């Protein structure tokens, strides 16, 4: 099997012309597409409709190209978009494709991609252990599909999970079921946390005794350093994509990651570059940086109100949401180091990396 | 002479308790204060009143401490505040003090500070060659006060200049005088440009034949790499502070600077650290970074709409002003490299550093 | 002929389920739809993609329903969406349908709808007299289609016109053609002004000698009180919809309008209600208000910075765009009087109603 | 006794020149000033420093004028500023003065003003019954000072109360005391609610059995229709101002108020005008509107997400805070009816007027 990564930019969230051109030119086989990950130029908050707009636009293109319905595309391909291209960030999307075919392993590990979907969860199970376990199962299934046996070879797990909606809450109440919360925003946070614990469980990042509900939001020092979780009303099941390295694949790419201890952790960025053999210490004109195919970052405003001992104002700003602030700052830092502004920077990093920090994962052409 | 640099943080723009405590403790001699440079937590735009609030609060403190009127303080001390602590940036202010006294030079150059004020300019002269020449004269006066003979020893020139106001425009029109613009916002930009050319002229960064009005806003490749200009309705004259190194001073500090070619120029940041003998390549836990006493950065959103070939969305965002975006991004980059969020990051960098870029200046304890 | 007005709300800009249900229930004949006018919940500024998203969603629905391509729908139906549901405003869209069929006139005038498209304009003609004349022709064509002979019977003219884009500007420059502006935002304003003068010319609101380019943006006291113009990169031709009353129609609705002298003009709102025979003076619980089928308002922040002699802060606010401020305020006023928040409130009212004011048009069930 | 009301506008929050001029001209006796109520042009949220800036500026002016310290002014005069002049609203402040002196009552009731301060509350008492009772006592004291015996004659009660701060929370925890919340934002809401119940208790708007903690935030149908409560970190005690009508005063003014059932309640606005004998039904050019001296409005975004059955988007907007939306909309409505934009519009109306609504109070010259 062979995993490919293609990165495209767009004029606006309705512009999928670059992917269309790549398909027409034979550079991307639309039948092989398994996931699309991207940044859109909305605010990344509740009223950000650029994610839905891009999703609709891509489904339209793929449905037409593949002669399928838009619904069928949605059941086959994972679409995960994070809104908010603050600062220097560039709206873009990355298309992950898997070409089937056996490969005689040489022992060299290259990029492996696996996807999985959980069953539909009951509203009352969202944000609870049932949710955690369901995601852990899906991560294991995606690992199996990616033929990754050692969890240490997994470097990035993207989960997109559902949250409570008004309709789902009403249905649950009608049955007498009790929800952990009926507030969609809070439910989204619970889903992210359940996802983080689910990934940590599947990858063995936390021992089984730490996978428990009373740790949610309280034991922020218990986290997955490879999970990137988003949540939204638009999905009904949890969608999981696992990225790692495996000797069963003959991809042109490899992946690495590092946790970021805080929003200033330039050391982590240089460390992941070193993991990939990219030497660019203090020099972002180094040609080796051109090997980077895809960059993913998770971050969050430090809950303490301080970064390295100094006060930040992100939580007090009534004009700009704290998540927009942190994406702009960490995006600026990573972009400066790697000399590229096409970075998937996502906030809301509860239990995803150290508190106040997050993680960075890079996919690069193999050296 | 001996220049000192003290950096303070605050809870809000009315909180000057840290300076008050330092004065009470004898750490800062209030009679020696010549300038205060800072970042306040407003939006940095027209309706940012945090700058005026902090100025009023500091004048109140110093007037009471020195037994002077607030007006007298304003005529003696330069107050320059930039609003906007986007991302990880910390509201803070830096107090520059000069202790008089001769010094037997050892040849070693240390931090030198000079200030100067221009005469009041007529409204019709704002943004014209008369304005440029007036600022150039003031820069030369401040250099002389700082005992810097070689313009190569100047590393940072802060100018705060007036702009046209409704009242000033009316007065000029009544005399039949013609203004370059009656729009306060445009006038502010003209003042910044006149300041940049004035600094460039005084420092010899541009040859005399390039110091001309038709280059304003058009020849963006003609710039000063050491000017940092701000403008506001609250000042009537141009206030100038020159920072450099001079053998006539026995300060504990030195200063260095580098132009930044764009918003991603991490190389410039590492270069200025190297100029100061601070070795922290890829490692922001390096103890030498603790020598930094004060950081100043000038930046702007690239007018082309692209950074390193990729589209940015700063100019199209109707919710967050482009200057707020760029301050957050460049602030995040610099803070990550130097492990400190107390950075004076200012936008509006026309002719102040390369287009789309800007400059960075650092004051540090001498090694 | 018979004109119908159906008003729908949506959960988000991708939700067209209410129209789909109305079509399925036989309440709306999709073949009769000629125009859709609506408010979407974006910011109404350059980076508002909710307009495009709703347009795409409606085209998808109609293409599927009518067995046509999305392109064909776009050439037949006018879609005009204004972003920004500030304050109490409700995202909604109004579907205008025309059922063909002759009608034996009783002399009673009821709602008449006409639409027209201009030819494609050259980029260098945008914002010039050629543009004005082209729109005036289209307004006359739409009036003819609406069988309105007397311009006094026209109460609302919506125009959506193209603006210069980077591509169009490049093409023009390659031919040596000179554009009035290459800046898309300025071009949008020029298109709005050309539209306003075009409508004023066609309706005889301004005498021919006042229809001239040097009045653009300067003679703000020359205006159309029935024009509502929007502009965007997404259209290539000018799309025109005329609403008025005509004895040639047997619609259930009538329309009336009034200019608003400023943002506080509650008198105008009560006047238009009186025009429609709706008695609700000081009482928004009056049942007659239930006759209102559709409300359209044009407004703008007073350029002087004052409303009724008192300062407003809309132009100085760096956090909220002035158009968002004024839509929220005028929307709140109209909604309070008519007890309905489903109002098409649009800003950018240059030469569309008195300066600092605008207009209000209401479609209501005939008494 | 004689109460006076003077309304002033300002260029910015540091501009108190209009009051200074009025004092110099003998129009305002600075010794008689008891309270200042105003709107400043910040965002009205946590990081709005325009309130503190105006307070500091006024204290400076009054301290200099009266030869007192700024602290002494703060202990004598109540300063209540609400940030946010969204839409058409005008930054302004209203100075309430009381001239002493006995008055032979004619039975005619005119404007009466009373102020009171509570003792300092312990942090653990904030938002609890002790807080409610303390405020109720202060309201009764202010009524007594205003010589209002019948609570029905009270039309507006402004309370400004303290909230938990980091320091106060730490002090409480050190003593082992338990806070209702340590989050300043939540604490502010609790203070507003405690204030509303305190006012309702003192005025008899709610029976004693409904004054209880378990009703806080839950029984939103239990409210005061005359309370306007704000909270902030800058005060240590609760400050109370009662406005009503009393035969013991010979003021030139009278006051009236009405609850507003929702954000569209134009009927309430016309009702309060009628209470004052101001006839302006549907006509905001009516000269009688010139009698209005001061307008105060309390409002809030409907928690249900709907206004009169239609969805609003205030709670979902990530770019503009819901309180800013509602102030702009309700401010626009009131300004349109009374033809004046100098309105004290304040959000955060929990238990202050009907849920989703609020109240309006007008002070006017007696007919």
H/E element, A76: helix A70-76
**pLDDT category of residue D285 using cuts at 50, 70 and 90:** very high
How many other β-carbons are positioned within 10 Å of the β-carbon of residue B71? 10
- Among chain A, residues having any CB pair with chain D shorter than 8 Å are 43-48, 313, 316-319, 321
Domains of chain D with bracketed CATH: 1-102 (3.30.1330.170), 106-251 (3.30.1330.180), 252-365 (3.30.1330.160)
- Reported as a single tens digit per residue, the pLDDT across B168-207 is 888 998 999 999 998 888 898 999 999 999 999 999 999 9
d(CA B211, CA B226): 16
Q: Which of A66, A34, A40, A33 is nearest to A55 (CA)?
A: A40
CB B66 within 8 A of CB A286: no
d(CA D367, CA D362): 14
d(CA B285, CA A40): 34
Q: Which of B187, B224, B230, B346 is catalytic?
A: B230
pLDDT of residue D177: 93
d(CA A241, CA A145): 10
- Set of chain C residues whose Cβ sits within 8 Å of the Cβ of D337: 266
**Beta strands of A187-309 (E only): which ranges?**
227-232, 239-246, 253-260, 292-298, 306-307
Provide the β-strand partners of residue D80.
D37
* Per-residue tokens: B82: 């930039």
- Report the gap between the CA of A169 and the closest CA in chain D (Å): 15
Q: Which of B87, B314, B335 is opposite residue A326, by nearest beta carbon?
A: B87
**pLDDT category of residue D90 using cuts at 50, 70 and 90:** very high
Backbone φ and ψ of B351, nearest 5°: 60, 15
DSSP letter string, C301-334: --TTSEETTEE--GGG-SSS-HHHHHHHHHHHHH
d(CA C126, CA C103): 40
Residue C230 annotated among the catalytic residues of the structure: yes
Sequence-separated (6 or more) residues with CB below 8 Å from residue B8: B16, B18, B19, B22, B92, B93, B94, B95
pLDDT of residue D170: 87
- Reported as a single tens digit per residue, the pLDDT across A91-127 is 999 999 999 998 788 899 999 999 999 999 999 999 9
- Reported as a single tens digit per residue, the pLDDT across D172-192 is 989 999 999 988 888 989 999
CB A299 within 8 A of CB A263: yes
| Crossing angle between the packed helical segments D129-145 and D184-203, to the nearest 10 degrees | 50
Please provide the size of chain D in residues. 367
Q: Under an 8 A CB cutoff, do A44 and D317 touch?
A: no
C-alpha pair distances (Å), D174 with each of D170, D180, D233: 6, 15, 20
| Crossing angle between the packed helical segments D17-24 and D50-66, to the nearest 10 degrees | 20
Percent of chain D with pLDDT over 70: 100
- Reported as a single tens digit per residue, the pLDDT across A14-72 is 999 999 999 999 999 999 999 999 999 999 998 999 999 999 999 999 999 999 999 99
In this model, does residue A216 exceed pLDDT 80? yes
Sequence-separated (6 or more) residues with CB below 8 Å from residue A164: A123, A126, A172, A179, A181, A182, A183, A184, A187
| Average pLDDT rounded to a whole number, residues D5-28 | 98
Q: Under an 8 A CB cutoff, do C49 and A49 touch?
A: yes
- Report the gap between the CA of B315 and the closest CA in chain C (Å): 9
**pLDDT category of residue A288 using cuts at 50, 70 and 90:** very high
| Average pLDDT rounded to a whole number, residues D41-64 | 96
pLDDT of residue A32: 98
Provide the β-strand partners of residue A241.
A115, A158
Higher pLDDT, B232 or B127: B127
Q: Under an 8 A CB cutoff, do A49 and C52 touch?
A: no
**A169-193 as b/e: b if 16+ CB within 10 A:** beebeeeeeebbbbebeebbbbbbb
- Report the gap between the CA of A29 and the closest CA in chain B (Å): 25
Q: What's A301's DSSP letter?
A: -
C-alpha pair distances (Å), A182 with each of A45, A48, A194, D152: 18, 21, 16, 41
* Per-residue tokens: D315: 């709670």
H/E element, D81: strand D78-83
Which of C318, C324, C325, C348 would you mutate first to test chain B, the one with the most B CBs within 10 A? C318
Q: List, in sequence order, the alpha helices (H) in chain B.
A: 17-24, 50-66, 70-76, 129-145, 166-174, 184-203, 266-275, 322-338
The overall average pLDDT reported for chain B is 96
pLDDT of residue C314: 96
Q: What is the pTM of this model?
A: 0.97
Percent of chain C with pLDDT over 70: 100
Q: Which of C163, C149, C170, C219 is nearest to C195 (CA)?
A: C163
Residue A17 annotated among the catalytic residues of the structure: no
Q: Which of C41, C49, C319 is opposite residue A14, by nearest beta carbon?
A: C49
Q: How many CA atoms lie within 13 A of D78 on its CB side?
A: 27
Sequence-separated (6 or more) residues with CB below 8 Å from residue C60: A56, A60, C16, C70
- Strand order from edge to edge, sheet including C343-346: C253-260, C358-365, C292-298, C343-346
pLDDT of residue D336: 98
Q: Which of C45, B321, B312, B303 is nearest to A9 (CA)?
A: B312
Q: Report the relative pairing of strands C358-365 and C253-260 from DSSP bridges.
A: antiparallel
Q: Which of C57, C82, C230, C231 is catalytic?
A: C230
pLDDT of residue A167: 82
- Report the gap between the CA of D50 and the closest CA in chain B (Å): 7
Nearest 5°: CA angle at C174, between C171 and C175? Answer: 95
pLDDT of residue D165: 83
CB C148 within 8 A of CB C232: no
| Average pLDDT rounded to a whole number, residues C26-43 | 98
- Reported as a single tens digit per residue, the pLDDT across B244-291 is 999 999 999 999 999 999 999 999 999 999 999 999 999 999 999 999
**pLDDT category of residue C104 using cuts at 50, 70 and 90:** confident
Chain D residue at shortest CA distance from B48: D42
d(CA C216, CA C189): 10
């Amino acid at each position: 099997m062979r995993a490919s990564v293609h990165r495209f930019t767009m004029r606006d969230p309705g512009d999928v012309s670059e992917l269309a051109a790549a398909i027409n030119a034979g550079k991307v086989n639309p039948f092989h597409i398994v996931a699309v990950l991207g940044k859109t130029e909305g605010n990344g908050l509740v009223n950000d409709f650029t994610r839905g707009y891009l999703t609709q636009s891509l489904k339209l293109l793929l449905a037409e190209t593949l002669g399928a319905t838009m619904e069928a595309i949605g059941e086959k391909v994972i679409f995960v978009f994070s809104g908010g291209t603050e600062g220097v960030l560039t709206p873009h999307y990355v298309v992950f494709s898997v070409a089937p075919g056996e490969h005689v392993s040489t022992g060299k590990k290259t990029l492996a991609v696996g996807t999985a979907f959980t069953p539909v969860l009951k509203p009352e199970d969202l944000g609870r252990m049932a949710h955690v376990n369901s995601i852990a199962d899906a991560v294991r299934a995606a690992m199996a599909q990616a033929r990754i046996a050692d969890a240490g070879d997994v470097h990035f797990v993207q989960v997109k999970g559902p949250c409570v909606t008004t309709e789902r809450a009403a249905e649950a109440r009608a049955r007498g079921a009790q929800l952990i919360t009926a507030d969609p925003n809070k439910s989204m946070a619970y889903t992210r946390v359940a996802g983080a614990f689910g990934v940590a469980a599947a990858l063995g990042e936390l021992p089984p005794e730490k996978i428990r509900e009373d740790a949610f939001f309280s034991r922020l020092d218990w986290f997955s350093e490879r999970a990137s979780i988003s949540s939204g009303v638009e999905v009904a099941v949890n969608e999981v994509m696992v990225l790692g390295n495996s000797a069963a694949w003959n991809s042109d790419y490899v992946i690495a990651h590092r946790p970021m201890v805080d929003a200033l952790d330039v050391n982590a960025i240089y460390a992941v570059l070193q993991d990939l053999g990219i030497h660019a210490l203090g020099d972002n004109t180094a040609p080796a940086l051109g090997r980077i195919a895809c960059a993913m970052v998770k971050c969050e405003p430090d809950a303490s109100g301080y970064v390295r001992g100094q006060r930040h104002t992100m939580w007090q700003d009534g004009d700009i949401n704290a998540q927009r602030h942190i994406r702009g700052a960490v995006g600026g830092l990573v972009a400066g180091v790697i000399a590229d502004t096409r970075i998937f920077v996502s906030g809301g990093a509860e239990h995803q990396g150290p508190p106040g920090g997050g993680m960075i994962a890079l996919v690069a052409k193999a050296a």
